[in-house]
A and B are shown apart, each in its own frame.
Chain A
Amino acid sequence: MSTVLTPEAAEPKPDAVRPREHYLNVRFGIASWLLTVDHKRIAILYVVGITLMFFVGGAAATIVRVELMTPAGDLVSRDDYNKLFTAHGIIMVFFYLIPAIPAVLGNFVLPMMLGARDLAFPKLNLLSWYIYVAGGVFTIVALLAGGIDTGWTFYTPYSSADSHTHVIVTALGILIVGFSSILTGLNFVVTIHTMRAPGLTWFRLPLFVWSSYATSLIILLGTPVLAITVVLLAVERIWGVGIFDPAIGGDPLLFQHLFWFYSHPAVYIMVLPAMGVVSELVAAFSRKNVFGYHFIAFASIAIAVLGFLVWGHHMFVAGISPYASLIFSLISFLVAIPSAIKVFNWTATLYQGSVSWQTPMLYALGFIGLFTIGGLTGLFLAALAVDLHVSDTYFIVAHFHYIMVGGTVMAYMGGLHYWWPKMTGKMYPEWWGRFSAILIFFGFNLTFFPQFVLGYQGMPRRYHEYVAEFQILNVMSTAGASILAVGYVVPLIYLLWSLGYAKDAGPNPWGATGLEWQTPSPPPTDNFAKTPVVVNPPYTFTAKEAEVVG
């Protein structure tokens, strides 16, 4: 360690003239941010990018929901509607859901949880942010130039032969952003393998690290397949080669196989880190050690492995062999086992815990409930006969929003509030935090629960018109979406406010036991004054602590 001046040196007695040095005030100016290789600053850069994309994707969803208030297609044209839900899907999936937790929360806390000074490849980490931005620019340019109407799934031959929208530019954006997540995943795996602090054995790792590890494996093995698929799609579209288009000798199912080989595991890229966050939150706010640590850890790995074997369940109605469907259906059911193990273990952790109801915990409990609904409706879809009935209906839309929004977004918000004091040194306003967490929970359910009913009754997805009988439920859904929108804007305001006006948080406002809480907030550039030596398991809550903090 070549450190000459460790910020820790001045830490015990904060200097009145010069405040304690940490990663935020060590240097100033635009260049100090855009050229930084500090994982904490890069996490902040990602917060900016991801928040921006979240609200762009949210704006598209808003217009979609407003259009669906009435059965007639009266707000936007058919074509524009297609472009809007495509923009919503592409931006939310590739530019928010996939990077959100790994690139923001993972980037910030993972090295600290390992007792490391940085990720293994800091420059690669910065590069991956620039790649993310480049991919985002391509996609936004495609949207501004007129958009794309294929749906986020780019199904051929529509995307390669028929669509007259900006398929190539958007596909290029997705190809580029894929490399960003590959680099992040690579960095995480190497860091977890080689940079754990002395004494930090695999089974002393926090569960967030385990889930980040499993996520990274999926990213590394899935994303390159999407990349080559997008390249081939572009080749077919530009030169009219018959790879996927049956009219010129290609195989359209081949595209779906390749696409879902990535895009189904991508669901686990989105939800596994969320599960990791929730494991941390549930332990910290019930003041209890996680029940069934090993089971939760290995359930993450099991989900990563099984997640690669179920892509065919997106193709039950596409004409794949019934025997293949049978196997895919069976394995899809199996994924429920590790998922349920996690839910049961979180619940068991709560049992007889000293539960407190701070904002992060509200999000965590919201996650458990919503993820359970999303997971159980997933079992409906894994069943071949039921799937035939509800394929391409709002039942599917509701199901995956319960996983994506009810799962990933809830956990991201929970994790953001939980680590906000660590990231900024400031405490967010608790009342507003709880208020918006509750608002989001109710708004979410009002938006998406009616869609289960709509889908079961047969309302197909991706149409801007529908029969009048469906209007009541659609109006409910749109009303819920309005509440949800408010719920997301409120935290944006009070979190920004907290940067300037909120009270200082102190190193460990939650009395949590992770390594990241044993360094000042905000942490010094090197995270720890000296490399910590780990002698305990990750969660060491005791009854005594519960009295003090609870």
Chain B
Amino acid sequence: MSAESVHHDAHHDAAHHDAVEGQAAAPRSPQAGHSGAHHPALAHHFDSLEQQQEAQSLGMWIFLASELLFFGGLFTVYTVARWAYPEAFAFASGHLVLWLGTLNTVVLLTSSLTMALAVRASQTCELRSLRGYLVLTIVLGVVFLGIKMTEYYLDYREHLIPGPMFSLAGHELPDPLPGGTREFTRHVELYFWIYFTMTGLHALHMIIGIGVLGVLLILARGGRYTTGYFAPIEIAGLYWHFVDIVWIFLFPLLYLIHHGGAA
């Protein structure tokens, strides 16, 4: 309510000011019970910290439901395209570097663990552990992105980036080739479009997540999230886990579908 206070100060009239304040005490009294023990993080439009944390947590869950539908559209496109061109998709999938993808899965799952530990540290009011786990989570997120960039670079070297540079010239094509070489190449290119769109949007979510954790790490310095107010850490954790779960679906759908096919 600082806005109102400023306004009143601007029209300062000592007698009147006091009178208004005096009257204001009466209607305010029902809330006096908890206004005495205000947590500094409590926003003025909430009655209690519990209510605020509940709202923030629910807000993140709903946002994630929305995100689910966003990725859902992509998974639908993937399903339709793979259904139409199973051979091309299996062939293309075999050109990803499986061990790098697997390593990245391990890195990301580990980051989920450190994130969960950060949330726990926040709830148990341990500032040192909280900051340590946040740093670890950020580092693991950056490692994930580094490995992803390496994979993208390898794809670039093999001319697998869709667009005018795309070419399967140096690759051994499967023997009974479904359709002509030109069609097959186009369908492999479609796979790589979907691969780059999906992993690219996933990486974008990772970058946002790392940014959020970075901000929380700085804000946590003064002990802001280790005095019973842990909602920001908790909802950042929810987001982080969600991004991990998306990867858990991306990994098999993109990396593991060439089993028994050409490679």
Contact = CB atoms under 8 A, between A and B. Distances in A.
A21 B4 contact: yes
B45 interface: yes
A117 B42 CA distance: 14
Contacts of B59: 120-121, 186-187, 190
B62 A4 contact: no
A221 B81 CA distance: 23
Interface in A169-203: 182, 186-187, 189-191, 193-195
B27 A220 contact: no
Contacts of B58: 189-190, 193-194
Contact of A241 (B16, B42, B162): B162
Contacts of B20: 5, 9-10
A258 B71 CA distance: 12
A258 B76 contact: yes
A23 B187 CA distance: 59
Contacts of B7: 21, 26-27
Given A1-B31, A225-B72, A235-B193, A120 B63 contact: no
Interface in B228-261: none
Q: Name the residue among B35, B47, B51 with the largest chain A CB count within 10 angstroms.
A: B47
Contact of B24 (A4, A122, A228, A258): A4
Contacts of B1: 2-5, 525-526
A194 B54 contact: yes
Nearest to B25: A9
Nearest to B51: A194
Interface string B113-131: 0000000000000000000
B32 to A, nearest CB: 9
Contacts of B31: 1, 530-531
A5 B24 contact: yes
A4 B193 contact: no
Contacts of B80: 251, 254
Given A9-B27, A235-B197, A241 B3 contact: no
Given A190-B55, A225-B72, A235-B193, A2 B44 contact: yes
A199 to B, nearest CB: 13
A2 B32 CA distance: 9
Contacts of B72: 224-225
Given A117-B44, A232-B197, A220 B163 contact: no
A224 B5 CA distance: 41
Interface residues of B, number: 56
Interface stretch (A146-154, A242-250, A381-389): A242-250
Given A1-B47, A5-B5, A242-B190, A228 B162 contact: no
Nearest to A529: B27
Given A3-B44, A117-B45, A195 B55 contact: yes
Interface string B185-216: 01101100100010000000000000000000
Contact of A122 (B38, B45, B69, B74): B45
Contacts of B4: 3-5, 7, 21, 26, 525
Contact of B189 (A1, A118, A241): A241
B77 interface: yes
Interface in A214-257: 220-225, 227-229, 231-232, 235, 239, 241-243, 248-251, 254, 257
A1 B8 CA distance: 19
Contacts of A122: 43, 45
Given A225-B70, A239-B162, A26 B3 contact: yes
Interface in A527-545: 529-531
A166 B198 CA distance: 26
Contacts of A117: 44-45
Given A26-B7, A186-B66, A243-B77, A4 B21 contact: yes
B74 A531 contact: no
Contacts of A530: 27-28, 30-31
A116 interface: yes
A220 B62 contact: yes
B182 to A, nearest CB: 10
Contacts of A235: 193, 197
Given A117-B45, A224-B67, A249-B190, A2 B35 contact: yes
Contacts of B11: 18
Interface in A411-465: none
Nearest to B68: A224
A165 interface: no
A516 interface: no
Given A4-B21, A241-B193, A242-B190, A27 B162 contact: no
Nearest to B59: A190
A8 interface: yes
A231 B74 CA distance: 10
Q: Name the residue among B5, B26, B27, B51 with the largest chain A CB count within 10 angstroms.
A: B27
A254 B163 CA distance: 22
A1 B190 contact: no
Contact of A3 (B28, B46, B67, B77): B28
Nearest to B79: A254
Contacts of A187: 59
A358 interface: no
Given A3-B28, A186-B63, A194-B51, A258 B187 contact: no
Contacts of A15: 16
A273 to B, nearest CB: 18
A2 B38 contact: yes
B77 A232 contact: yes
B30 A228 contact: no
Q: Name the residue among B7, B26, B45, B59 with the largest chain A CB count within 10 angstroms.
A: B45
A193 B193 CA distance: 40
A241 B190 contact: yes
A182 B66 contact: yes
Contact of B44 (A1, A120, A221, A228): A1
A249 B85 contact: yes
Given A4-B24, A9-B26, A221-B65, 19 more contacts: A1-B28, A2-B1, A3-B4, A4-B1, A5-B8, A6-B28, A7-B4, A117-B44, A120-B45, A186-B63, A190-B55, A193-B58, A227-B70, A235-B193, A241-B189, A241-B190, A249-B186, A251-B81, A530-B27
15 contacts: A2-B38, A4-B21, A5-B24, A117-B44, A191-B55, A194-B54, A194-B55, A224-B67, A224-B72, A225-B69, A242-B190, A243-B190, A254-B80, A525-B4, A526-B44
List 3 A-B pairs, minimum CB-CB distance, nearest first: A228-B73, A224-B70, A9-B23
